[in-house]
Amino acid sequence: MPPLKIAQFCWESLHAMREGGLAPAVTHLAEVLGRTHEVHFFTRGEGPDRNIEGVFYHFYQPEGENILDYCHDMSRGLLRKFHESDAPPFDILHFHDWHCIDALEELRDRKTVISYHSTEYGRNGNNFGNWPEFRAISEKEWTGGYLARQVATVSKHAKTEIMWLYGIPEHKITVTPNGIYPDSYRVRLDPGSVKKRYGIHPLAPLVFFVGRLVYQKGPDLLVDAIPQVLQRRWDVQFIIAGKGDMRPFLEERCRALPVQFTGYIPDEEYLQLLNACDLVVIPSRNEPFGLVLTEAWSAERCVVATDVGGLSENIDNFVDGIKVPVRADSIAWGINYIIEDPIRIRAMGLAGRQKVVSLFNWEKISTIMEQVYARLQTPPEKMNPGQNSGRRNRG
Amino acid sequence: MQADQGCRNLCMGLSIHFPYFIDIGFDPAKTREKGTIRFSPSQKADFTEYLHQAFIPAMHGAFQWLDSGECLSLSISGLAISQLLEDESYGADILVQAMKHRCAEVLGQTYYHSVAGLFSKKDEFIYQATRHANQVEELAGRRPVVFENTEFVYNSGLADIIRNLGFSALYSEGHDHILSGTNPNYVYSCRNLPIFLRNCRLSDDIAHRFHDRNWDQYPLTAEKFAGWIAKTPGDCIHISLDAGIFSGNGRDASSFEEFFCGLPEALHSDDVRTVLPESVLRNLSKRDLQLEDLGFSSHDTICALTGIQNMLQQSAFWCLEAAEDLVTEKEPWRRLQSTDHFARMAGRSGSCGRPAASYTSREAYDYFAAYLRNLAFYEEACHHQHRSRLAARALRCLPPDKAFHFYSPERYTGYSAHSLKEFSRFLEFVPEEVFCFHQDRGDFSRWITGVLGDTVLARDIEQCTRAGEAADLVRGRVRELCHRLK
């Protein structure tokens, strides 16, 4: 494949503003593609445009009273930046999630790709909202799927979800899981000394949750499971890391329980906790991919996760993790089932590690993404007959 | 063709050990007797049952092997040998015959099936390993050459000691999750000591899965198992079986005996021969192995290889180690070192050829509490023989009802100090809010005075404003008290 000039649009990156799992996924994708292609990354942030790790970063700091105005302003600002670098013209324009859809609308005649890392429906814990913001964001997500020439999403579940929600035809969609650099998440350390820093006995089993404290991620399900875990095993300790609206509610609920809320933790501390804990729990109600899963596996951790979305798809039950229904008592069952057996915990963690190394390495993922770009390079008139006949055959 | 690529040698080991559990129902408050360790009242009956249900069938199987010229290594604790010798049945004669058999080799180990290898001072470990070797030499006429540490505890420091004790090789466990891809079927070498790794998967196929009807390989036949061995890559496969497996665990024991006795013939038809560890040592080349090669940090080593996995086991272990200086008669203390006690304090135990056991966290806690009650009762009985009774009282271990339980204003932190030494260890990492909570209420000084009887330390600790300061103070006091004891 000849080198392409690629523009990535994403509202977060590891080098400026970071919100959640989207930032590492898109930043690393850009870096891997940047090894063979010319990649420009349009994102919000301050400071001069610069080259970081082989990717040209273009920053714009948006303003706005609400999230919609804010993202609209961001799209306008990033569009201006885009046009400044559009000579010679970009071959591929790749948009991530809904935040820059206004820019996509403007550039609809170009070769565009949109990646759905999640949907507004999913972020609301599989619920439709009747408030204006929900409707506006959903509309933008629909527009993105309608206008973009190619659509990428992170799991088969997410693919089904966007086909159902936004009527995107299947032939436009390619599943491209998030990749990971497994070695950057595995740290050789003494778990006991990390636990001690949190006032936890070095040999007390530590269950770790990391993620935004929002309904989608199900921290309330974990919190409700804790008393049932303690009934069976009194010495288990819990650390819940991350920030979000639900924190005061959760803290109130955890009064007198062995739970610590750390709030936002820097990457270094995250790695320490990830490698020191005995079990990672992912109690999400909706999880298109579940980056925490591959991060936990990279650190050879065993996971107890809800049987949803990408988690359901990627975990081999009782081999590299435990899958449970989206219920507090089921999560408690999952934790109780495995916490007594350190040897199996370790074995499952190692099995997970082997899986990320073989299936989720960035080289493999970027190749899939390049194939999506290659499809766009093929002239539509040549592509259509083949596709049509394929559809006829299937029918 | 595949058989040509597989293993040609099988080292089969039979492990014999009868646990010595303590009496869970024992309550010191209800007795006027002199303090000593109370072992389970059903000990004698349990032993007789073990003898007939497991030991005799296992020996029957062993002689089927040995008398037909098949090699078998025997791993038997000194305590088990003594129990058999003391018993007036014919068990001891059978055992001695097996130990003397030309096709058998007895492995070295700690006399009491002990955790002594983990003590920071290695004197006790050396004493027990030597005592066991002497006992085996006296009975079998040969001194053991290969050492198998209890629960396969292994680290570089122990490797040196074992070599210095005159052993030529060491057995360790080759769990899949520990090996991280290292093939257990070769001979390795660490600090010039050859190491054999037990093949846990194949051992557990027999020990755990043989009677499992849900196993996709059920029923396991001798021919099938021999076929697996012949196809497994490596120089020599080491398998260990606990004699308890011969009891059938309530299932059909005869099918297992049939399997075991039919195995040599099946092995021969697959061109696999049985060998002794000693001959493996002579004939095969060794590969270098470092502990780090197995993916271990020092902490992992302690957790994964020692069976000390939880804080109950850790507390009990610390109390046990400290008790060496507090008890006058060593024999009961040594019986408390058996790994069986520690297995009872964990949720699940048993693997690599040993029967699986599972206890609820309540059962584990009850055993832990009984263990400390017994040890504390015994230590108290020894107080009057010490130079400083005050020091002995302050350093003794405490049952859970006298331990110091750390609380924050809202909740129990999850740990309790069962001795002054453990108290100082927890002060090193206890959160400041927990420290202040207890200090403001005067809990520390009250506990130190009331339970440990150390008014000097109680007065001093009242002045501390930070946990770290208190930890230094208590550590210093522990050193001083230990010195006074000697």
Which tens digit of pLDDT belongs to each residue from B24-44? 888 887 777 777 788 888 888
CB pairs under 8 A between A and B: 78
CB proximity list for A85: less than 8 A, separation 6 or greater: A7, A40, A56, A58
- Segment B93-102 long-range contacts (CB within 8 Å, at least 24 positions apart): B94/B56, B94/B59, B95/B16, B95/B59, B96/B139, B96/B140, B97/B63, B98/B59, B98/B62, B98/B63, B98/B66, B98/B74, B99/B74, B99/B136, B99/B139, B99/B140, B100/B139, B100/B140, B100/B141, B101/B66
**Which of A190, A205, A255 is nearest residue B410 as measured by Cβ atoms?**
A255
Nearest CA in chain A to B311: A203
**Which of B347, B410, B431 is nearest residue A340 as measured by Cβ atoms?**
B347
Q: Please judge whether B310 and A205 are an interchain contact, meaning their C-beta atoms are less than 8 angstroms apart.
A: yes
In this prediction, residue B300 carries a pLDDT of: 43
In this prediction, residue A391 carries a pLDDT of: 39
Catalytic annotation, pick one of B105, B148, B151, B422 = B151
B384 min Cα distance to partner chain A (Å): 34
A351 min Cα distance to partner chain B (Å): 9
CB proximity list for B250: less than 8 A, separation 6 or greater: none
Query: In whole angstroms, what is the distance from residue B343 CA to residue A205 CA?
Result: 17
Q: How far is residue B444 CA from its own chain's centroid?
A: 35
Q: Which pLDDT band holds residue B156 (cuts at 50, 70, 90)? A: low
pLDDT per position as a tens digit, B178-188: 666 678 888 88
Q: Please judge whether A346 and B177 are an interchain contact, meaning their C-beta atoms are less than 8 angstroms apart.
A: yes
pLDDT greater than 50 at residue B303: no
Q: Which pLDDT band holds residue B302 (cuts at 50, 70, 90)? A: very low
> Considering only A14-18, A30-34, A166-170, which range has the smallest mean pLDDT?
A14-18
In this prediction, residue A165 carries a pLDDT of: 95
In this prediction, residue B296 carries a pLDDT of: 44
In this prediction, residue B318 carries a pLDDT of: 93
**Which one is predicted more confidently, B208 or A324?**
A324
pLDDT greater than 70 at residue A381: no
**Which one is predicted more confidently, B349 or B55?**
B55
DSSP state letters, B84-141 = HHHS-STHHHHHHHHHH-TTEEEPB--TT-BSGGGSSS-HHHHHHHHHHHHHHHHHHS
Q: Please judge whether B347 and A233 are an interchain contact, meaning their C-beta atoms are less than 8 angstroms apart.
A: yes
Mutation target among B429, B437, B466 for the A interface, most CBs of A within 10 A: B429
In this prediction, residue A378 carries a pLDDT of: 75
Which residues of chain B does A234 touch, with a Cβ-Cβ cutoff of 8 Å?
361, 365, 414
pLDDT per position as a tens digit, B373-386: 999 999 988 887 88
Looking at the complex, does the CB of residue A318 fall below 8 Å from at least one CB of chain B?
no
pTM here?
0.84
CB proximity list for A40: less than 8 A, separation 6 or greater: A5, A6, A7, A8, A55, A56, A57, A58, A82, A85, A90
Q: Which pLDDT band holds residue B285 (cuts at 50, 70, 90)? A: confident
**Which of B175, B313, B411 is nearest residue A258 as measured by Cβ atoms?**
B411
pLDDT greater than 80 at residue B349: no
Contact B79, B111 (CB under 8 A): yes
pLDDT per position as a tens digit, B307-322: 567 889 999 999 999 9
> Considering only A267-276, B13-22, B32-41, B326-335, which range has the smallest mean pLDDT?
B32-41
pLDDT greater than 80 at residue B149: no
> Considering only A113-117, A280-284, B61-65, B359-363, which range has the smallest mean pLDDT?
B359-363
Q: Please judge whether B175 and A343 are an interchain contact, meaning their C-beta atoms are less than 8 angstroms apart.
A: yes
Q: Please judge whether B311 and A350 are an interchain contact, meaning their C-beta atoms are less than 8 angstroms apart.
A: no
Mean pLDDT along residues B130-154: 87
Q: Give how far Cα A111 sits from Cα of A105, A379, B249, B395, Å.
A: 12, 11, 68, 77
pLDDT greater than 90 at residue B334: yes
Average pLDDT, chain B: 86
Mutation target among A346, A348, A353 for the B interface, most CBs of B within 10 A: A346
Q: Please judge whether B297 and A190 are an interchain contact, meaning their C-beta atoms are less than 8 angstroms apart.
A: yes
In this prediction, residue A102 carries a pLDDT of: 95
pLDDT greater than 60 at residue B306: no
In this prediction, residue A266 carries a pLDDT of: 92
Q: Which pLDDT band holds residue A386 (cuts at 50, 70, 90)? A: very low
Nearest CA in chain A to B417: A201
Mutation target among B358, B415, B416, B433 for the A interface, most CBs of A within 10 A: B415
A56 min Cα distance to partner chain B (Å): 39
Mean pLDDT along residues A174-201: 92
Which residues of chain A does B434 touch, with a Cβ-Cβ cutoff of 8 Å?
199
Mutation target among B297, B300, B361 for the A interface, most CBs of A within 10 A: B361
Average pLDDT, chain A: 92
**Which one is predicted more confidently, B251 or A15?**
A15
Mutation target among A189, A201, A234, A344 for the B interface, most CBs of B within 10 A: A201
Chain B positions with Cβ closer than 8 Å to A = 175-178, 180, 297-299, 303-304, 308-311, 313-314, 347-348, 351, 358, 360-361, 365, 410-415, 426, 428-431, 434
CB proximity list for A237: less than 8 A, separation 6 or greater: A195, A200, A201, A204, A205, A206, A207, A258, A259, A260, B414
Which residues of chain B does A192 touch, with a Cβ-Cβ cutoff of 8 Å?
299
Assembly ipTM: 0.83
> Considering only A1-5, B273-277, B308-312, which range has the smallest mean pLDDT?
B308-312
Nearest CA in chain A to B352: A343
A206 min Cα distance to partner chain B (Å): 11
Nearest CA in chain A to B434: A199
Which residues of chain A does B410 touch, with a Cβ-Cβ cutoff of 8 Å?
255-256
Nearest CA in chain A to B298: A190
Nearest CA in chain A to B305: A343
Mean pLDDT along residues A163-169: 95
**Rg (chain B; Cα; Å):** 24
Q: Please judge whether A342 and B303 are an interchain contact, meaning their C-beta atoms are less than 8 angstroms apart.
A: yes
pLDDT greater than 90 at residue A6: yes
Which residues of chain A does B311 touch, with a Cβ-Cβ cutoff of 8 Å?
201-204, 235
Q: Please judge whether B361 and A232 are an interchain contact, meaning their C-beta atoms are less than 8 angstroms apart.
A: yes
pLDDT per position as a tens digit, B457-474: 999 999 999 999 999 999
pLDDT per position as a tens digit, B120-130: 888 999 999 99
In this prediction, residue A121 carries a pLDDT of: 94
Query: In whole angstroms, what is the distance from residue B126 CA to residue B122 CA?
Result: 6
A59 min Cα distance to partner chain B (Å): 43
CB proximity list for B51: less than 8 A, separation 6 or greater: B84, B87, B89, B91
pLDDT per position as a tens digit, B411-450: 899 999 999 999 999 999 999 999 999 999 999 999 999 9
Looking at the complex, does the CB of residue A200 fall below 8 Å from at least one CB of chain B?
yes
* End-to-end Cα distance, chain B: 68
Q: Please judge whether B414 and A343 are an interchain contact, meaning their C-beta atoms are less than 8 angstroms apart.
A: no
Nearest CA in chain B to A348: B177
Which residues of chain A does B176 touch, with a Cβ-Cβ cutoff of 8 Å?
347
Q: Please judge whether B414 and A200 are an interchain contact, meaning their C-beta atoms are less than 8 angstroms apart.
A: yes
Q: Is B151 a catalytic residue?
A: yes
Q: Please judge whether A341 and B309 are an interchain contact, meaning their C-beta atoms are less than 8 angstroms apart.
A: no
In this prediction, residue B250 carries a pLDDT of: 63
Q: Could you give the angle at which helices B467-485 and B432-441 cross, rounded to 10 degrees? A: 70
Tokens of A72: 């609209």
pLDDT greater than 80 at residue A151: yes
pLDDT greater than 60 at residue B333: yes
pLDDT greater than 80 at residue A324: yes
Q: Please judge whether B414 and A192 are an interchain contact, meaning their C-beta atoms are less than 8 angstroms apart.
A: no
Q: Please judge whether A347 and B348 are an interchain contact, meaning their C-beta atoms are less than 8 angstroms apart.
A: no
Mean pLDDT along residues A256-277: 95
Mutation target among A188, A235, A237, A336 for the B interface, most CBs of B within 10 A: A235
In this prediction, residue A379 carries a pLDDT of: 65
Q: Please judge whether B415 and A201 are an interchain contact, meaning their C-beta atoms are less than 8 angstroms apart.
A: yes
Window 238-267 of A, Cβ < 8 Å to B: 255-258
pLDDT greater than 70 at residue A85: yes
pLDDT greater than 80 at residue A395: no
Q: What H or E segment, with its residue span, contains residue B320?
A: helix B311-323
